[in-house]
Amino acid sequence: MNALRKRLPFSGYSDAYALPSIIRCETNLYVAQFAFMKLLPAKYIIEQALARGTLTCGMKVLETSSGTFALGLAVVCRERGFQLEIFTDPVMDKGLNNRLNSLGAKVSIIAEKAKQGGYQRSRLDALDARMRQLGKACFWPRQYETPDNPAAYKLFADQISGMLDADVTLVGSVGSGGSTCGTIERLRQKAPRARLIGVDTFNSVIFGQEDGERKLRGLGNSLVPKNVKHELYDEVHLISAPLAFAATRTLHERQAVFAGPTSGASYIVGRWRARQFPEETVVVICPDEGHRYVEAAYDHEWLKQNGYLSESGLLDAPATENHPSVALPPWNRYLWKRKSREAILNVLEQV
Protein backbone atom coordinates (compact mmCIF):
# COMPACT_ATOMS: atom_id res chain seq x y z
CA MET A 1 0.00 0.00 0.00
CA ASN A 2 1.55 3.24 -1.16
CA ALA A 3 0.50 6.46 0.62
CA LEU A 4 1.09 9.72 -1.23
CA ARG A 5 0.80 12.87 0.86
CA LYS A 6 0.72 16.49 -0.18
CA ARG A 7 0.03 19.21 2.36
CA LEU A 8 -0.14 22.95 2.05
CA PRO A 9 1.99 25.17 4.31
CA PHE A 10 -0.04 25.74 7.47
CA SER A 11 -0.31 27.95 10.50
CA GLY A 12 -3.16 26.24 12.34
CA TYR A 13 -5.27 23.11 12.63
CA SER A 14 -7.61 24.04 9.79
CA ASP A 15 -4.67 24.40 7.40
CA ALA A 16 -2.91 21.26 8.57
CA TYR A 17 -5.91 19.02 7.89
CA ALA A 18 -7.47 20.75 4.90
CA LEU A 19 -6.33 18.18 2.31
CA PRO A 20 -6.42 14.38 2.41
CA SER A 21 -3.87 11.63 2.11
CA ILE A 22 -4.03 9.84 -1.27
CA ILE A 23 -3.66 6.10 -0.63
CA ARG A 24 -3.23 3.46 -3.33
CA CYS A 25 -5.32 0.39 -2.53
CA GLU A 26 -5.16 -1.57 -5.79
CA THR A 27 -3.50 -1.14 -9.17
CA ASN A 28 -5.97 1.51 -10.35
CA LEU A 29 -7.86 2.24 -7.12
CA TYR A 30 -7.03 5.11 -4.75
CA VAL A 31 -8.78 6.52 -1.72
CA ALA A 32 -8.49 10.16 -0.70
CA GLN A 33 -8.83 10.11 3.07
CA PHE A 34 -9.59 13.34 4.88
CA ALA A 35 -9.25 13.75 8.64
CA PHE A 36 -12.67 15.35 8.23
CA MET A 37 -13.49 16.71 4.82
CA LYS A 38 -16.01 19.39 5.80
CA LEU A 39 -13.20 21.40 7.35
CA LEU A 40 -12.17 22.36 3.81
CA PRO A 41 -15.44 24.10 2.80
CA ALA A 42 -15.97 25.50 6.30
CA LYS A 43 -12.58 27.21 6.17
CA TYR A 44 -13.10 28.48 2.61
CA ILE A 45 -16.63 29.80 3.22
CA ILE A 46 -15.57 31.72 6.33
CA GLU A 47 -12.48 33.15 4.61
CA GLN A 48 -14.51 34.30 1.61
CA ALA A 49 -17.12 35.89 3.86
CA LEU A 50 -14.40 37.79 5.72
CA ALA A 51 -12.88 38.96 2.44
CA ARG A 52 -16.25 40.21 1.16
CA GLY A 53 -17.18 41.85 4.43
CA THR A 54 -20.35 39.77 4.88
CA LEU A 55 -18.83 38.42 8.10
CA THR A 56 -17.26 40.94 10.45
CA CYS A 57 -15.98 41.03 14.02
CA GLY A 58 -18.71 40.53 16.61
CA MET A 59 -21.15 38.69 14.36
CA LYS A 60 -22.41 35.21 15.25
CA VAL A 61 -22.14 32.31 12.80
CA LEU A 62 -25.31 30.18 12.53
CA GLU A 63 -25.68 26.90 10.65
CA THR A 64 -27.77 23.73 10.44
CA SER A 65 -25.78 20.49 10.54
CA SER A 66 -25.83 17.08 12.17
CA GLY A 67 -22.31 16.09 11.10
CA THR A 68 -18.79 17.21 10.48
CA PHE A 69 -19.59 20.49 8.74
CA ALA A 70 -20.57 21.70 12.20
CA LEU A 71 -17.23 20.50 13.52
CA GLY A 72 -15.37 22.20 10.69
CA LEU A 73 -17.12 25.47 11.44
CA ALA A 74 -16.39 25.07 15.15
CA VAL A 75 -12.66 24.68 14.47
CA VAL A 76 -12.53 27.68 12.12
CA CYS A 77 -14.69 29.88 14.35
CA ARG A 78 -12.52 29.04 17.36
CA GLU A 79 -9.39 29.97 15.39
CA ARG A 80 -10.99 33.19 14.09
CA GLY A 81 -12.71 34.21 17.34
CA PHE A 82 -16.36 33.93 16.24
CA GLN A 83 -19.26 32.56 18.26
CA LEU A 84 -21.03 29.63 16.58
CA GLU A 85 -24.57 28.32 16.97
CA ILE A 86 -25.50 24.96 15.43
CA PHE A 87 -29.05 23.75 14.84
CA THR A 88 -29.18 19.97 14.71
CA ASP A 89 -31.46 17.03 15.53
CA PRO A 90 -31.44 14.04 17.90
CA VAL A 91 -29.40 11.93 15.49
CA MET A 92 -26.21 13.90 16.24
CA ASP A 93 -23.99 11.57 18.22
CA LYS A 94 -22.92 12.46 21.73
CA GLY A 95 -19.21 12.49 20.90
CA LEU A 96 -19.65 15.12 18.19
CA ASN A 97 -21.90 17.17 20.45
CA ASN A 98 -19.24 17.07 23.17
CA ARG A 99 -16.54 18.21 20.73
CA LEU A 100 -18.67 21.11 19.55
CA ASN A 101 -19.31 22.21 23.13
CA SER A 102 -15.61 21.92 23.91
CA LEU A 103 -14.84 24.25 21.00
CA GLY A 104 -17.29 26.81 22.34
CA ALA A 105 -20.22 26.19 19.97
CA LYS A 106 -23.81 26.40 21.17
CA VAL A 107 -25.77 23.34 20.01
CA SER A 108 -29.56 23.49 19.72
CA ILE A 109 -31.23 20.10 19.20
CA ILE A 110 -34.51 20.35 17.28
CA ALA A 111 -36.60 17.38 18.42
CA GLU A 112 -39.68 17.82 16.21
CA LYS A 113 -39.52 16.57 12.62
CA ALA A 114 -41.37 18.56 9.96
CA LYS A 115 -44.05 16.68 8.02
CA GLN A 116 -42.40 17.69 4.75
CA GLY A 117 -38.63 17.94 4.59
CA GLY A 118 -38.00 16.08 7.84
CA TYR A 119 -35.41 17.30 10.32
CA GLN A 120 -33.65 19.34 7.63
CA ARG A 121 -36.77 21.48 7.28
CA SER A 122 -37.38 21.88 11.02
CA ARG A 123 -33.72 22.76 11.61
CA LEU A 124 -33.86 25.39 8.87
CA ASP A 125 -37.02 26.85 10.36
CA ALA A 126 -35.35 27.15 13.78
CA LEU A 127 -32.29 28.75 12.22
CA ASP A 128 -34.47 31.23 10.32
CA ALA A 129 -36.23 32.25 13.53
CA ARG A 130 -32.86 32.83 15.23
CA MET A 131 -31.61 34.91 12.28
CA ARG A 132 -34.68 37.15 12.45
CA GLN A 133 -34.00 37.61 16.15
CA LEU A 134 -30.35 38.61 15.62
CA GLY A 135 -30.91 40.70 12.49
CA LYS A 136 -27.66 41.87 10.88
CA ALA A 137 -25.54 40.56 13.76
CA CYS A 138 -25.26 37.04 12.27
CA PHE A 139 -23.85 35.16 9.30
CA TRP A 140 -25.26 31.96 7.78
CA PRO A 141 -22.71 29.95 5.72
CA ARG A 142 -25.51 28.18 3.76
CA GLN A 143 -23.54 25.03 3.00
CA TYR A 144 -26.32 23.55 0.86
CA GLU A 145 -26.53 26.46 -1.56
CA THR A 146 -23.49 28.74 -1.42
CA PRO A 147 -21.20 28.38 -4.46
CA ASP A 148 -18.28 28.73 -2.02
CA ASN A 149 -18.93 25.14 -0.89
CA PRO A 150 -18.07 23.46 -4.22
CA ALA A 151 -15.46 26.14 -4.99
CA ALA A 152 -13.54 25.05 -1.89
CA TYR A 153 -12.72 21.72 -3.52
CA LYS A 154 -10.55 23.24 -6.24
CA LEU A 155 -7.57 22.60 -3.96
CA PHE A 156 -8.51 18.94 -3.68
CA ALA A 157 -9.03 18.60 -7.45
CA ASP A 158 -5.62 20.14 -8.09
CA GLN A 159 -4.10 17.70 -5.62
CA ILE A 160 -5.60 14.79 -7.61
CA SER A 161 -4.54 16.11 -11.00
CA GLY A 162 -1.04 16.88 -9.71
CA MET A 163 -0.53 13.39 -8.29
CA LEU A 164 -2.52 11.16 -10.61
CA ASP A 165 -4.00 13.09 -13.57
CA ALA A 166 -7.26 14.95 -14.07
CA ASP A 167 -8.77 12.16 -16.22
CA VAL A 168 -10.02 10.02 -13.35
CA THR A 169 -13.24 8.38 -12.20
CA LEU A 170 -14.27 10.18 -9.03
CA VAL A 171 -16.50 8.32 -6.57
CA GLY A 172 -18.04 10.11 -3.60
CA SER A 173 -21.06 10.29 -1.32
CA VAL A 174 -23.62 13.02 -1.95
CA GLY A 175 -25.08 15.14 0.85
CA SER A 176 -24.75 18.85 0.12
CA GLY A 177 -23.21 18.12 -3.30
CA GLY A 178 -20.18 20.30 -2.64
CA SER A 179 -17.38 17.74 -2.69
CA THR A 180 -18.39 15.70 -5.73
CA CYS A 181 -19.63 18.58 -7.88
CA GLY A 182 -16.90 21.03 -6.95
CA THR A 183 -14.12 18.52 -7.50
CA ILE A 184 -15.37 17.18 -10.83
CA GLU A 185 -16.00 20.66 -12.23
CA ARG A 186 -12.37 21.55 -11.60
CA LEU A 187 -11.07 18.24 -12.97
CA ARG A 188 -13.11 18.60 -16.15
CA GLN A 189 -11.49 21.94 -16.87
CA LYS A 190 -8.40 19.86 -17.69
CA ALA A 191 -10.05 16.55 -18.64
CA PRO A 192 -13.65 16.93 -19.91
CA ARG A 193 -14.11 13.15 -20.00
CA ALA A 194 -13.39 12.72 -16.28
CA ARG A 195 -16.17 10.62 -14.79
CA LEU A 196 -18.29 11.21 -11.67
CA ILE A 197 -20.14 8.53 -9.70
CA GLY A 198 -22.42 9.72 -6.91
CA VAL A 199 -23.15 7.49 -3.92
CA ASP A 200 -26.42 7.98 -2.07
CA THR A 201 -28.55 5.85 0.23
CA PHE A 202 -32.11 4.59 0.02
CA ASN A 203 -34.98 6.91 1.09
CA SER A 204 -33.03 10.01 0.03
CA VAL A 205 -34.77 12.41 -2.34
CA ILE A 206 -31.60 13.69 -4.04
CA PHE A 207 -31.75 11.30 -6.98
CA GLY A 208 -35.46 10.58 -7.05
CA GLN A 209 -36.31 8.22 -4.19
CA GLU A 210 -39.19 8.91 -1.81
CA ASP A 211 -38.17 10.53 1.46
CA GLY A 212 -38.00 8.15 4.41
CA GLU A 213 -35.95 6.96 7.34
CA ARG A 214 -32.24 6.70 6.58
CA LYS A 215 -29.78 4.66 8.61
CA LEU A 216 -26.68 6.21 7.06
CA ARG A 217 -25.59 9.70 8.09
CA GLY A 218 -23.39 12.04 6.11
CA LEU A 219 -25.09 11.37 2.78
CA GLY A 220 -28.63 11.63 1.47
CA ASN A 221 -31.18 14.34 2.19
CA SER A 222 -34.86 15.06 2.71
CA LEU A 223 -34.49 18.18 0.56
CA VAL A 224 -32.65 18.61 -2.74
CA PRO A 225 -29.67 20.92 -2.13
CA LYS A 226 -28.96 23.58 -4.75
CA ASN A 227 -25.29 22.57 -4.75
CA VAL A 228 -26.16 19.15 -6.19
CA LYS A 229 -25.71 19.71 -9.92
CA HIS A 230 -27.27 16.56 -11.31
CA GLU A 231 -25.98 17.16 -14.83
CA LEU A 232 -22.45 16.41 -13.61
CA TYR A 233 -23.09 12.77 -12.61
CA ASP A 234 -22.42 9.85 -14.94
CA GLU A 235 -23.71 7.19 -12.55
CA VAL A 236 -25.55 7.02 -9.24
CA HIS A 237 -25.30 4.14 -6.76
CA LEU A 238 -27.61 3.60 -3.79
CA ILE A 239 -26.16 1.70 -0.82
CA SER A 240 -27.90 0.28 2.26
CA ALA A 241 -26.62 0.82 5.79
CA PRO A 242 -25.67 -2.85 6.46
CA LEU A 243 -23.65 -3.00 3.24
CA ALA A 244 -21.93 0.32 3.99
CA PHE A 245 -21.00 -0.89 7.49
CA ALA A 246 -19.60 -4.15 6.08
CA ALA A 247 -17.61 -2.24 3.46
CA THR A 248 -16.26 0.12 6.12
CA ARG A 249 -14.83 -2.79 8.08
CA THR A 250 -13.46 -4.37 4.91
CA LEU A 251 -11.69 -1.14 3.99
CA HIS A 252 -10.00 -1.15 7.39
CA GLU A 253 -9.21 -4.86 7.48
CA ARG A 254 -7.74 -5.06 3.95
CA GLN A 255 -6.28 -1.58 3.45
CA ALA A 256 -5.78 -0.29 7.03
CA VAL A 257 -7.87 2.76 6.11
CA PHE A 258 -9.76 3.74 9.26
CA ALA A 259 -12.85 5.57 8.02
CA GLY A 260 -16.57 6.08 8.54
CA PRO A 261 -19.59 4.44 6.85
CA THR A 262 -19.93 7.06 4.12
CA SER A 263 -16.39 6.15 3.11
CA GLY A 264 -17.32 2.47 3.18
CA ALA A 265 -20.31 3.09 0.92
CA SER A 266 -18.11 4.88 -1.62
CA TYR A 267 -15.31 2.33 -1.29
CA ILE A 268 -17.44 -0.65 -2.33
CA VAL A 269 -18.63 1.29 -5.40
CA GLY A 270 -15.11 2.41 -6.27
CA ARG A 271 -13.67 -1.08 -5.86
CA TRP A 272 -16.31 -2.51 -8.19
CA ARG A 273 -15.70 0.24 -10.75
CA ALA A 274 -11.92 -0.22 -10.67
CA ARG A 275 -12.25 -3.94 -11.33
CA GLN A 276 -14.82 -3.48 -14.09
CA PHE A 277 -12.76 -0.82 -15.86
CA PRO A 278 -9.05 -1.55 -15.26
CA GLU A 279 -8.04 1.15 -17.75
CA GLU A 280 -9.52 3.86 -15.50
CA THR A 281 -7.93 5.49 -12.47
CA VAL A 282 -10.58 5.45 -9.74
CA VAL A 283 -10.41 7.88 -6.80
CA VAL A 284 -12.74 7.32 -3.84
CA ILE A 285 -13.47 10.22 -1.49
CA CYS A 286 -13.31 9.20 2.19
CA PRO A 287 -14.84 12.14 4.11
CA ASP A 288 -13.58 11.37 7.61
CA GLU A 289 -11.71 8.99 9.90
CA GLY A 290 -13.34 6.24 11.91
CA HIS A 291 -13.02 7.52 15.48
CA ARG A 292 -16.69 8.52 15.75
CA TYR A 293 -17.80 5.04 14.70
CA VAL A 294 -15.75 2.78 16.97
CA GLU A 295 -18.84 1.90 19.01
CA ALA A 296 -21.05 1.57 15.95
CA ALA A 297 -19.71 0.43 12.57
CA TYR A 298 -16.70 -1.25 14.21
CA ASP A 299 -18.67 -2.85 17.07
CA HIS A 300 -20.03 -6.32 16.25
CA GLU A 301 -22.51 -6.32 19.13
CA TRP A 302 -23.91 -2.91 18.21
CA LEU A 303 -24.35 -4.01 14.61
CA LYS A 304 -26.08 -7.21 15.72
CA GLN A 305 -28.42 -5.43 18.15
CA ASN A 306 -29.44 -2.90 15.49
CA GLY A 307 -30.01 -5.48 12.76
CA TYR A 308 -27.09 -4.49 10.57
CA LEU A 309 -25.60 -7.96 10.18
CA SER A 310 -28.43 -9.33 8.08
CA GLU A 311 -26.51 -9.15 4.82
CA SER A 312 -23.86 -11.84 4.49
CA GLY A 313 -20.48 -10.70 3.31
CA LEU A 314 -19.62 -8.00 0.82
CA LEU A 315 -21.49 -8.00 -2.49
CA ASP A 316 -19.44 -8.19 -5.67
CA ALA A 317 -21.71 -6.14 -7.91
CA PRO A 318 -24.82 -3.93 -7.86
CA ALA A 319 -28.20 -4.57 -9.41
CA THR A 320 -29.17 -2.18 -12.20
CA GLU A 321 -32.65 -0.67 -12.29
CA ASN A 322 -34.55 1.18 -15.00
CA HIS A 323 -35.14 4.10 -12.65
CA PRO A 324 -33.63 5.15 -9.29
CA SER A 325 -37.07 5.66 -7.72
CA VAL A 326 -37.75 1.91 -7.84
CA ALA A 327 -34.29 0.81 -6.70
CA LEU A 328 -34.25 -1.53 -3.70
CA PRO A 329 -31.56 -2.43 -1.12
CA PRO A 330 -28.88 -3.46 -0.67
CA TRP A 331 -27.10 -1.98 -3.72
CA ASN A 332 -28.41 -0.48 -6.92
CA ARG A 333 -26.78 1.30 -9.83
CA TYR A 334 -28.35 3.73 -12.25
CA LEU A 335 -26.75 5.22 -15.37
CA TRP A 336 -27.52 8.91 -14.84
CA LYS A 337 -25.68 10.07 -17.99
CA ARG A 338 -25.23 13.72 -16.93
CA LYS A 339 -28.95 14.51 -17.07
CA SER A 340 -31.00 16.89 -14.95
CA ARG A 341 -33.09 15.55 -12.10
CA GLU A 342 -36.22 16.77 -13.88
CA ALA A 343 -35.31 14.82 -17.02
CA ILE A 344 -34.84 11.62 -15.02
CA LEU A 345 -38.12 12.06 -13.12
CA ASN A 346 -39.99 12.82 -16.35
CA VAL A 347 -38.89 9.46 -17.75
CA LEU A 348 -40.81 7.73 -14.95
CA GLU A 349 -43.92 9.85 -15.54
CA GLN A 350 -43.94 8.93 -19.23
CA VAL A 351 -43.80 5.19 -18.55
pLDDT tens per residue across span 224-247: 999 999 999 999 999 999 999 999
Tell me the backbone φ, ψ of residue 83, rounded to 5 degrees.
-80, 140
Beginning with the edge strand found earlier in the chain, give each strand of the sheet holding 235-239 in spatial order: 2-5, 21-26, 29-33, 282-286, 169-173, 195-201, 235-239, 331-335, 319-320
DSSP labels, 241-256: HHHHHHHHHHHHHHH-
Q: Tell me the average pLDDT across 100-129.
A: 91
Is the pLDDT reported for residue 163 higher than 60?
yes
pLDDT at 5: 39
- What are the C-alpha distances in Å from 224 to residues 16, 251, 283? 32, 30, 25
Q: Which of 46, 89, 100, 118 is nearest to 292 (CA)?
A: 100
pLDDT tens per residue across span 36-93: 899 999 999 999 999 999 999 999 999 999 888 999 999 999 999 999 999 999 888 8
Query: What is the value of pTM for the model shown?
Result: 0.91
Is the pLDDT reported for residue 332 higher than 90?
yes
Is the pLDDT reported for residue 10 higher than 50?
no
